[in-house]
Every structure is written in structure tokens, then in C-alpha cells.
Structure 1
Amino acid sequence: MQILGLSAYYHDSAAALVRDGRVVAAAQEERFSRIKHDPAFPSRAVQYCMEMANNSPIDYVVFYDKPFLKFERILETYLSFAPKGFATFRAGLPVWAKEKLFQRSLLLKELKAVAPGRFSSEQLLFSEHHLSHAASAFYPSPFEDALVITMDGVGERSTTSVGIGNGADLQILRELDFPHSLGLLYSAFTTYTGFKVNSGEYKLMGLAPYGQPRFAQTILDNLIDLRPDGSFRLDQRYFSYCTDLKMFNTRFTELFGEPARRPEAQLTQFHADIAASIQHVTETVVLSICRAMAKETGQKNLCLAGGVALNCVANGKIAAEGLFENIWIQPAAGDSGGAIGAALAASHLHLKLPRSPLKPDGMASCALGPEFSQSEIEDILNHEGAKFLVVPDNELWQDTATALANGEVTGWFQGRMEFGPRALGQRSILADPRDPAMQKKLNLKIKFRESFRPFAPSVLEEDAADWFDLSFPASPYMLMVTTVSEKHRNIGEQEAQARDNIIDMDIPRSDIPAVTHTDFSARLQTVSHQDNPRYYELLQAFKKTTGCPILINTSFNVRGEPIVATPAEAFRCFMATDMDRLVIGNCVLKKSEQNQSLATEYHLHQEAD
């Protein structure tokens, strides 16, 4: 039984293939179209999934939400606020009338364009948005039973939902509805600090440690009414997302005393304090929900999904709280993961297929995308005019580790492409975390992005507890934040707090300063041989060379661009940046040996994220 899951038409469109309840393939459309967060129908991702179906029939296609329910919510919202917002409603109505309300016809038309004669209306199913998220979290988890919490901006109408998974069954117990949304509250502050919604939330989270949460109580007193059971309500007098295309109004800006920051304008300590404040409130709300649900249900396992589940700082706080024995978070927790969840929900809830949890989980280390054979890589690089050497595995690890130890920034392209927002060692840019100047170099000369943004460490799983304060056994998907252990810190807690600001951001704080944030935090990826054998071997070689089992791991792209998907894209990115070395499969490319006429500045044409 093969089921194709789809998410589309909002952001991060994706397709996923599930075979007999197992995730076989998944990819985001942005990787093929090269449009960041592409919302279009995922034609090329569907085509890839169909290729992975091995020419066998696809039995059902499942869309990740129900458009009619979403339209009901929009209509009810307009009626609640009418006549305010009529202009926005009138402008959006033709789109709904033409596309959204007749999505079955639109989806069938798109599917037939990809594969004429392969799909019929009877094969098309629809899941609910939060059920898709919940299914994406529970069914691939290693748990027989679990509490499942989904938090995002909004689905059809739900913004937060709580469910229980047991075997093949999954039931949503309660929901919090629009307009009361933790995701939209966080997005309002994302916009207020000058970043893009559905893109800049990572920046806001990264900015927070440079500030003090001096506005947290202001937010709790005025914007959000948080109840003891974790439920909450937002005071809509401060927001305009119900009636306009803007997130907040002048009452909101007056509350904090400064106008919204313009994109790309100077960041100040005020913005860092705002970021710290909303991050603190977010953690408070998330922990309140988890505490209440842990007490009510008695569940020892927790699964998380939805965009808020990508807030890895909050995730780390949940783990540190010790409310649950085990936590598993869907790596593609945002809308792209809804494609996986929709297909899994259909498998187990509609078709009643049995479920046997997999260890360590059912996401195959997120290596679910396309891959290239060694001969294909060589052909593509030759076509691009690249100069390279083919190095056998037993030399490749040590050769690359030595280059990294010597300060070379290295592009690393191996195996199947990752699914989700994180590069996990298949499409990564790697560097030495011991170099105090490396964080700024990577931001400004490689990624072409804001200098404050932190980088994540990849560490050998068996060495993680020696370098980091762990409240969880592993973090293979880079979804948990912890702190660098005290024995590897260079300054004390008191001095760190005194220098916890934007001005002192460049002061080295540990033996691995390039991945140590201002509060000693780090967004950790643990790597085992089972997770990623080639990346594991490289980390082992780097440890043998330097004594340090850690590398900087950031996504293989420049700012505003999706992660590279092909060897050709990797080579062009390599030639447009200050990367020193590129390793694709067993092909090793050195920048100094390339034809410099192939260098470009294509990053200048990428839209800022």
C-alpha cells in the first residue's frame, strides 16, 4: 500500500511517500524550484516521490488540511470583526473562489499534469491540519504510546492541540482555536523586530540570548492571558492579523515605546531585549501546557510538531524540566512535515494498517531526498568545468579533517538530501568550532547574513556528555538547545551575564567559541554511526586530529536560498562564496585549483530572508 502525502498553497510545500506505514521518501518543493519556502503545488517533489515508488501504483493521495474548514474560519472571523477588514476579505475572496474552495479539482489537475492518467478523484483524501501535524510526530516516533502536542500559527481553525497516540490509534483530545495562537504571537514579534514571518523566527530566537527579558511581564500583563492549565487568550486590541495583512497595530508599538524596526536596519539592545522577552513568554506558555498535560494524562512520552516545535530553546527547557521520560520531535515540524503526517494518518486511521514503532525512529535520519551516484557526480562536475580529485573513503575522512583543522571552510555533500529545515551532514557547510573568528567569517563571507546569528555544533554522540550539559540522551535532528559544560568554558557565569549583550557578542566564551552562544547555549546535533556513517567517520577523524569531536554544521546555501539539492548547485554556491574546499561524494575540489572565471556573485540576487 503506497500513499502520497501533499502539503501546499501556504508555505514550505512538500510531498512524501509512505509505503505500508513506513516513510520512504520526502522532499520540499523549494529544493527543486529554488524558491525559498515555495508555496506552489509540489510538482517536482511529487515526481521524485513517484520515482521512489518503483513504478508501483500509488493507492491514495492525501492533502494535509481541509480547505472548506479553513474558509469557514476566515468567513467567521470576518463576520466577527465586520465591517473592519472588509477590504482584505474582498481582495482575498476571488482567490478562495477560484482555487481554495475547489481544491479537489485543482489538486487533480496538478496531479494529472505530473502523471497523466495515474490519479482519479476517488483516490484523493483530505486530512485535518493539526491531525496531520500530530500524525507526523507520533507515528514515526519510537513510542508505543505518547502525549502529542501541536502548536503553530493556525491550521483550519486550531492553533494548539493535544492528543494521545496509542499503537496505531491517534485521537485529538482538545484544541485551542484562532485567533488565540502562540505561533502568531511569536510571528508578531518577528515582524516587529524587522524579520519575515515564516522565515525570521529563527533569527528572533538567535537574537534572544543577547537581551534581557525586561518586557516579558508587559507581554503577560497586556497581550496574553495565560491560564494555569496552559490555555490562553490573546487581547486582539493589539493585533490586526484578523482584519488586515499586518500582524499588529499602533497600540502594540505604543506598548513597547518604539516603532517597528525596518528590515535590514541596525539592531539595537532594545531589539535584543524584545527578542529575549517573547522567547521567555513562549517558554512559559509551552512549559505551562506541558506541565498541565503531563499531570492530567500521566503520559511518560511526549511528541511535538507544528512550527512552534522548531523553537529548540523551548524544547531544551521541556527536556530540562524532566516532565517526561522521553521526548521525540518531528524534524520537519512545520508545514512541510504535514505531507508525511497526512500520508501516515491515512495509513493508520483511514486504512487501519498496523503500526510497529521503529528504533531509533521512523524518519531514517531525515535522509529521505534524492541522491547521486559517484559516476553522476563526476559527470555533473565535469559539465560544470570543475577540477577535482577522486579520493577513496579511507583517505577522504582524514584528508578533509586535516583541512578543517587548518581552518578551511568545507562544503560537504553526501548521500540522500535531508528533509526539513536542518542540514544534518548530507548538505552541510562545515568548519572548525575552536576558531574564535569562524562564526563571524561564516556569517559574513559564506552565508552573507547577519553577524549575530549562531551556528550549531555536530558532536559524536558518545562524546556529547563530556562537552555539553545533557538532559536528553541524543539530539540527532538539531532540535534541542543545551549549554556547553563548565569545564570547557573560558569565562565564569557572572562575567558572561555582564557581557550578555550585542556589544560583547564576539568575546570567546569556551573552547569551542564559534558554536557557543552568549549564554553558553548551543543548538546541538549528536551524530552516531547509525544516523550518518560518513559524517560520523569525518567527526572521528577530526577528533583524532585535534582532540575535539565537534564540527560547526550549517546548511549548504547562502542567505535567502534553499539548501542546495544537486552537485551543480553545490559547485555554484562553492564558487560564489569564500568556501575553501568542497567534498561531493568522493570528489574533492579545492578553491585554489578552480577556474576563477566560473566564480559568481549570485548571492546578490537572492531575496533577503
Structure 2
Amino acid sequence: MSYILGISALYHDSAAALIHDGEIVAAAQEERFSRRKHDSRFPQNAVHYVLSEAGITLADVASVVFYDKPFLKFERLLETYLATAPRGFNSFRKAMPVWLREKLFLKDLLVRELRQIESGFSGEQLMFSEHHFSHAASAFYPSPFEEAVVLTLDGVGEWATTTVAMGKGSDLRIDKEIHFPHSLGLLYSAFTYYTGFKVNSGEYKVMGLAPYGEPKYKATILENLIDVKEDGSYKLNQAYFNYTHGLTMTNQAFADLFGQPVRKPETDDLTQFHMDIAASVQAATEEVVLRMTRALAREYDCPNLCMAGGVALNCVANGKILRDSAFKDIWIQPAAGDAGGALGAALGAWHGEMKKPRTVQRGDAMKGAYLGPSFDTQEVAAQLEKAGARFEILDDDEIIARTVDALSEEKAVGWFQGRMEFGPRALGGRSILGDPRSPSMQKVLNLKVKYRESFRPFAPSVLREHVSDWFELDYDSPYMLLVADVHESIRQQMSDEESRLFGIEKLNVKRSDIPAITHVDYSARVQTVHQETNPKYHALIDAFRDRTGCPVVVNTSFNVRGEPIVGSPEDAFRCFMGTGIEVLVVGNAFLRKEDQNPDLAENYEEKYELD
């Protein structure tokens, strides 16, 4: 009987994960406890949580596994500096103190941090995994496949930026790698920077902006920035980038190529040019990934594909991989970024290092990604009372009936239930819900609840048994990682006048019977809801269907722009009071905004640094 603790930390999205004899017990990101978005510090709170979920102490853990190898990363830093010297001196000078103080002596730092949790921790049980192996393990081992090709794509690990692995049973081997500075993730991040969004957090905004534009610059990208071979292998032309030796992602040659300077988010508006740039890098990324997956399907003659790494969160590209059908089935790790590396490190040690057998589970082994903390009614009531909330405790049937009432009245509902999700998506555990039939819901949620850009799309949660009636999809998508078009039968065709609209003007055109979740290109980022993994959320949507005939609700994460997703009932109440959310449902506690003391309201619009 062995517990293994996995840790990712000190770059971005720190997390901890605990497995027991190969079964996932708990996993959580540090940001949910610390309330600092993308928190990169050692995940003290997350480690405490996963141990408490299992009812153990660190002394009961057989191995602690860190998700990458800092010496290899340091080697890359030095070699890159030497290759580009003296141009990279400023970048090198800024990085060195942190490396010499912390990261180069990471084992000592980890042992010190772990001794704060358990004073007798010796460090002998500390192990290190390679970054992309952690990603690959997080994708393959929990997947529903006995064997699969495993593709990982991100910015950079130690040296690797893209890897191909083959998984069979409990064996996982990496066969191919593309190395830094050539990186599809860094290419996308370069355009994130160029369009004025924050690197490592704003990439999904570029993806959301892309449908408002035309891919006018796709050929420019493929002819100048990235040389893509028929099998999807690629190289980036470093003449246009600055990340190997500078403090920015792109250089003047990059700006000259596209004819405009880097957008300054504080002063420069998003224009049609930026929408076309977003559409172009998205199209180029899809081209590279599809060439890669088609070649891998031919080479390995295996019907199953697993994916992880930050690029695997590009749900538009994922949807196209599925529809392309080179692979019959695909499965993507819901915590595909660095946080998921904590889970992959633990699973990789269990199956890879310790050679323990693997049992393939129906659906997958992630338990719907509901791997974080939960709160019973007593804990909920205590936290809400402490916060000064006024609430009622209702039984399950009444909670669902009252929530359906609120949704039907087009109210924004904070929905805090069960265990918290692991990964960047809210999946009906820590969500804000709305009526997808409302033409005004997208704008209201963006501007009055989330305090974010009006173009940002919202996702639908749909009952799995009804997904193919409403979307061009008949496939499990429990983790909101596949984009599909809304069904032809519920689309509303645009008039000639509407068709001539450009860019953000398209936003106000009603495109379907569920306009709040229909993007401007008729697409939606679909989450299928399964009774087995989230019975209460399933029951709520089913009750909404009984009332309205619509088995779909709007689902967006329970937070405002720049804030981590809420982690506790107190967090939920504060966000409720600081935003336009009108009803809050925490477990079996029901709260209405008009019942609350208005003095408890905070200014959430300016509370968090913009992401």
C-alpha cells in the first residue's frame, strides 16, 4: 500500500497530487488556496489539502516526485546564453540570481519546504521526473486506453517542447522530441504578446478572438516564422523572436513583418488587424498539429491519441483533430498545463519507476476531474455565517427547483457544489451558470459579472445523452476541451446586412436558439455532463430541461477576471457580493442578493490585477 505525492512548482501553476496504489486520491492547484492567480510558489496549501483528503501525514508517503529536472533546465539556460552572447546578457543577468538562490539547489529548497509540513522528512524519498514525461504520463495513465500514441506540446520543459510517446499497458516511452528554441507553444505565446495579452495566461484570449477575424496572415506565418514539414515537425525562424536572449517574445523584425507594433493593452484598442492576426496564428497552429496527428496515425497504426501540455488546451484545434478522424479516439488531460505535471510525475513514478501494473478504467481515471476539496453543510454554514451571509438551508430537491427558477428568470447563478475541479476549467463544481437561450446573457456575464472583454465566449454544459441533438458532436467531452458547431437545426441564418458585419460588430447577432453560448462562427466549447461523475449538476440541467425543453446551461468559471476560481464558501460569498451574480447556491445553502447586507459588497471590478 503506497502513497505517492506529485508536485509541480516554481515556474507557473504550482500544484500537488496524491495517488494511492495507482489510484488518484486528490489534486489541486495552489492558486485556489493562496488566491494568487497562476501561483508558482511551493504548493504548501495544496500539499496540506491532498494529505488531509487521504487522512494521512507526509510520513505515510513512500515517494515525493517533482515534475521536472532543474539541472537540465539550467543547462538549457546556459547553452542558450552562450549561443546568443552577448545579446542575452540582460536576460541572463535577471535569471541568474533566482537560479543560484533557489532553482539550482531545488532539492534543498524542496526538502526545507517539506520539512515545514513534516519535520522528520529526510529527502531520501524525493525523486525528479522529466517535464515532458510528466505531461505524457498525466495524459496516458489516466486515459481509457490500453494503448495510445501520446503527444505533448507546450512552451518548453527542460529542452523538449514537443514529444511523441507510445503507451502500452503500464509502459510509456518517449520516441521523439523537438527541442527549444523551436516550440509551437512559444509561437502561440509570441502572438499572445504581440496582440497585447499576458504570456502564459492570455493564450486562450487569442483563441477566443480568432473567430472575429480572417486568417489573412497564415501564409506569412508559414512562409517566414515556422518551417513545417509534411510530418508536422517544424523549426522556428529565430530572426523574428526575442525569447532566447531578450526580455520580450518578439523583436522589431516581427512587428515589421506584420506592419504594426506590439499592441499596448492599456492604451491600444483591439482592432480588426488583431482579430485577423489571432485567426492567422490559430489557423497556422491547427495546420501544424493536424499534419503531426495525421503522420503519427499512419506511423503508429494505433487508433488512440492522448494529449497534454499547454497547447493541448487549445480546444478549437482539439475539435478539428477529432473531426479529422486520423485517430478514432482522443483523450486530453483536463489539467494539461504545468499543474497536471504533478499528477503525471506521481503516476509516472508508480508505473514507470516502480513497474506497477495499470488498470484501465471505463471513461477514465480522473473522476470527472473533481479532485479538490469539498465542504459539508456544517462547514458551509459556518463559513457563510462568519462572512455575514444570510441564507437558507434547503433539501436537494428544493435547491434544484429554486436554482432552475433563477436560471429561467435569466439570473446569474453562482453554483458551488461537491469537490473542486483540477485544471483550468470549471466543470459544474465552481461555476457561474446562466440561461443559454437569453440573447443578453453573454454580454451581461462578461461585463457585469466577470468584468472582462466583451468578445470572450461562454461554454455550454449539456447532458451527455442530448449532446448530439444540440451540437455537431456525439462524443464524450467532460472536460470542456473540444469545440464543436451548434446543430444545424437550431442555427439562425444571418441576414445579408448581418453577414457584412466585421469583427466585434458580429457579437450582437443572434446565431442560434442558444445565443449565449454560440460563438460568432457557430461554434461552442462543449462540456458533456455525466450522471456518474456529477449527479447533482446532471440533475440540475435535467430539471432545467424539464422546465424549458433545453438540456443546456451556460457554464463559466466562478471568478472575475484576474482572480483564481473560488476555492471555499467564503471565497464564493465574497465574489457573489462583489459582482452582478444574483443568486448563490453553496451546497444546500441558498442565497439571494437582495437579502444580503449591501455593506458587505466589495469592488471586485478593481480587486484583482488584470490577466
Of residues 308, 311, 315, the one that matches 1:308 is: 311
Equivalence for 2:347: 344
1:580 and 2:582 matched: yes
1:235 and 2:237 matched: yes
1:274 and 2:281 matched: no
The one-letter amino acid paired with 1:47 is H
Equivalence for 2:22: 21
Cα contact 1:429–1:556 (8 A) shared by 2: yes
Alpha-carbon offset, residue 94 of structure 1: 2.1
Equivalence for 2:31: 30
1:6 and 2:27 matched: no
Alpha-carbon offset, residue 122 of structure 1: 1.2
Alpha-carbon offset, residue 497 of structure 1: 5.5
Alignment of 1:122-521 (within 5 A): 122-264=124-266, 265-470=268-473, 472-491=474-493, 498-499=500-501, 501-521=503-523
The one-letter amino acid paired with 2:475 is P
Q: d(CA) in 1 for partners of 2:201 and 2:116?
A: 30
Alpha-carbon offset, residue 385 of structure 1: 1.2
Q: Which runs of 4+ in 1 moved over 3 A?
A: 492-500
Alpha-carbon offset, residue 90 of structure 1: 2.4
Q: d(CA) in 1 for partners of 2:100 and 2:608?
A: 33
Of residues 86, 104, 108, the one that matches 1:105 is: 108
Equivalence for 1:529: 531
Give a deviation string over 1:282-308, Cα, whole Å, max 9, x none. 000010110111110011000000000
Equivalence for 1:55: 56
SS at match of 2:256: helix
Alpha-carbon offset, residue 512 of structure 1: 0.4
Alpha-carbon offset, residue 343 of structure 1: 0.2
Alpha-carbon offset, residue 498 of structure 1: 4.0
Q: d(CA) in 1 for partners of 2:406 and 2:100?
A: 57
Identity of aligned residues (%): 60
Equivalence for 1:559: 561
Q: d(CA) in 1 for partners of 2:309 and 2:47?
A: 22
Give a deviation string over 1:449-468, Cα, whole Å, max 9, x none. 00000000000111100000
Q: d(CA) in 2 for partners of 1:98 and 1:593?
A: 52
The one-letter amino acid paired with 2:5 is L
Q: d(CA) in 2 for partners of 1:91 and 1:322?
A: 46
Q: d(CA) in 2 for partners of 1:496 and 1:587?
A: 44
Alpha-carbon offset, residue 524 of structure 1: 0.3
SS at match of 1:344: helix
Equivalence for 1:600: 602
Give the TM-score, by structure 1 length: 0.98
Q: d(CA) in 1 for partners of 2:502 and 2:64?
A: 50
The one-letter amino acid paired with 1:575 is M
The one-letter amino acid paired with 1:346 is A
Give a deviation string over 1:107-157, Cα, whole Å, max 9, x none. 00011112211x222100000000000000000001000000000000000
Q: d(CA) in 1 for partners of 2:393 and 2:342?
A: 38
Q: d(CA) in 1 for partners of 2:431 and 2:119?
A: 36
Q: d(CA) in 1 for partners of 2:422 and 2:186?
A: 24
Q: 1:495 to 1:459 in 2, by over 3 A?
A: farther
Cα contact 2:432–2:555 (8 A) shared by 1: yes
The one-letter amino acid paired with 1:48 is Y
Alpha-carbon offset, residue 380 of structure 1: 1.2
Q: d(CA) in 1 for partners of 2:61 and 2:535?
A: 32
Alpha-carbon offset, residue 604 of structure 1: 0.9
Q: d(CA) in 1 for partners of 2:577 and 2:95?
A: 42
Alpha-carbon offset, residue 86 of structure 1: 1.6
Give a deviation string over 1:171-226, Cα, whole Å, max 9, x none. 00000000000000000000100000111011000000000000000000100000
SS at match of 1:6: strand
SS at match of 1:121: coil
Give the TM-score, by structure 2 length: 0.98
Q: d(CA) in 2 for partners of 1:389 and 1:93?
A: 55
Cα contact 2:28–2:46 (8 A) shared by 1: yes
Q: d(CA) in 2 for partners of 1:53 and 1:540?
A: 33
SS at match of 1:503: helix
Give a deviation string over 1:353-373, Cα, whole Å, max 9, x none. 110011110111111111101
Cα contact 2:498–2:509 (8 A) shared by 1: no
Unaligned runs of 5+ in 1: none
Query: What value does the CA root-mean-square deviation take over the aligned residues?
Result: 1.1
Q: d(CA) in 2 for partners of 1:378 and 1:121?
A: 40
Q: d(CA) in 1 for partners of 2:138 and 2:178?
A: 19
Q: d(CA) in 2 for partners of 1:602 and 1:522?
A: 28
SS at match of 1:336: helix
The one-letter amino acid paired with 1:49 is V
The one-letter amino acid paired with 2:311 is V
Q: d(CA) in 2 for partners of 1:533 and 1:399?
A: 17
Cα contact 1:3–1:59 (8 A) shared by 2: yes
Q: d(CA) in 2 for partners of 1:494 and 1:534?
A: 44
SS at match of 1:504: helix
Cα contact 1:496–1:518 (8 A) shared by 2: no
Cα contact 1:2–1:53 (8 A) shared by 2: no
Give a deviation string over 1:542-596, Cα, whole Å, max 9, x none. 0011111100000000110000000011001000011110000111000011111
Cα contact 1:16–1:27 (8 A) shared by 2: yes
Alpha-carbon offset, residue 599 of structure 1: 1.1
Cα contact 1:461–1:527 (8 A) shared by 2: yes
SS at match of 1:304: strand
SS at match of 2:81: helix
Cα contact 1:137–1:305 (8 A) shared by 2: yes
Q: How many residues align?
A: 607
SS at match of 1:245: coil
Q: d(CA) in 2 for partners of 1:92 and 1:397?
A: 52
Alpha-carbon offset, residue 78 of structure 1: 1.0
